[in-house]
Amino acid sequence: MITFPNAKINLGLNITEKRADGYHNLETVFYPVPLEDALEITLSKSEEVPFTLHPSGMSVAGELNDNLVVKAYLLLANFFDLPPIDIHLYKAIPSGAGLGGGSADAAFMLTLLNKKFNLNLSMEKLEEYATKLGADCAFFIQNRPTFAKGIGNLFSPIQLSLKGYKIVIVKPDIFVSTREAFSLIIPRKPKIALTEVISHPPTEWKELMTNDFEQSVFALYPAIENIKKELYNKGALYSSMSGSGASVYGLFTPNTPLPEMNFGNSFCFQACLD
């Protein structure tokens, strides 16, 4: 059985306050985009090990047994008698990009195991398990435009459609430390609530919607800021870093031909949004 975990972008990202536990409260909108990994599970012929992970495509950072798809399997194995499986993960979503690739893989793994082995888990129960794997993992269970707050784990569905708009995503060969990015943030309440901002047409977002990570990250990595500037130069009606970076996306109107992109060794992706 195979599935295709998709990426997400952040529409706006406001860091509103630092919490007593050291984390930060934020508000953002998660929006799914059609950049996809491929994830397949099959019954293993070996009874000696509970799982074997076979990665391909882009390199997978860290130890294989620490991969979130493995953690998703082990999480459910604590509650269900799962048979040994082979896990085939083809990575097309770059890591360290602010696109949620690892979180998507984890959530889709939960859903895949639920279907494959008839676990009869409800959407709410899958979200509960997903939350144990990461703050934003649960978003990918329902996988629809969502307003998130708290540490990115409190979700409210929203009515927002960018169907027909075109997107360009550029991920330079730069690693941005999320911990460092947070350490440079000065939390503040936004002048306009993000839920209000997204009620405006995308043509007005450039003046209204911000990603609070950009100021500090752009100061450290001017090349990331240059990508945003170039996307605007190419005709994007809105451009932003996603999450804490390092990817930057540009939204283009349905009638705008997508420009030729030349960002050296950067990963580039273009698509029409569903």
Domain boundaries, the chain: 2-157, 166-272
| For the chain, counts of helices (H) and of strands (E) | 9, 12
Name the one residue in this structure whose structure tokens are 């698509």: 271
CB 113 within 8 A of CB 129: no
CB 232 within 8 A of CB 250: yes
Residue 205 DSSP symbol:
H
User: Which CATH code is given to the segment(s) 2-157?
Assistant: 3.30.230.10
Q: Report the pLDDT value the prediction gives residue 199, as an integer from 0 to 100.
A: 95
CB 43 within 8 A of CB 152: no
Say if 2-157 and 166-272 have the same CATH topology. no
Q: Report the pLDDT value the prediction gives residue 168, as an integer from 0 to 100.
A: 96
Of the candidates 244, 273, 270, the one whose C-alpha atom is nearest the C-alpha of residue 258 is: 270
Rounded CA separation 213/216 (Å): 6
Catalytic position from the list 105, 136, 166, 212:
136
1.10.287.1060, 3.40.470.10, 3.30.70.890, 3.40.50.970: which CATH number matches 166-272? 3.30.70.890
Q: Tokens standing for 245?
A: 């970076």
212 is catalytic: no
- Using one digit for the tens of pLDDT, what is the confidence trace for 197-251? 999 999 999 999 999 999 999 999 999 999 999 999 999 999 999 999 899 999 9
Beta strand pairing status for 24-36 and 38-43?
A: unpaired
Please compute, for residue 32, the number of CA atoms within 13 A of its CA located in the half-sphere on the CB side: 20
Name the one residue in this structure whose structure tokens are 């130069």: 233
Q: What are residue 14's DSSP bridge partners? A: 27
Q: pTM of the prediction?
A: 0.94
Q: Report the pLDDT value the prediction gives residue 242, as an integer from 0 to 100.
A: 97
Of the candidates 48, 126, 113, the one whose C-alpha atom is nearest the C-alpha of residue 81 is: 113
Q: Report the pLDDT value the prediction gives residue 151, as an integer from 0 to 100.
A: 85
8 is catalytic: yes
Q: How distant, in Å, are the alpha carbons of 63, 157, 169, 181 from that of 28?
A: 30, 12, 18, 16
Question: Which amino acid is residue 230, in one-letter code?
Answer: E
- For each of the chain's 274 residues, which pLDDT tens digit applies? 999 999 999 999 999 998 888 788 999 999 999 999 999 999 998 888 899 999 999 987 778 778 999 999 999 999 999 999 999 999 999 998 999 999 999 999 999 999 999 999 999 999 999 999 998 999 999 999 999 999 888 999 999 999 999 999 999 999 988 888 888 888 888 889 999 999 999 999 999 999 999 999 999 999 999 999 999 999 999 999 999 989 999 999 998 888 787 888 899 999 999 8
Q: Report the pLDDT value the prediction gives residue 28, as an integer from 0 to 100.
A: 97
- A 10 A CB-CB count for 218 gives 17
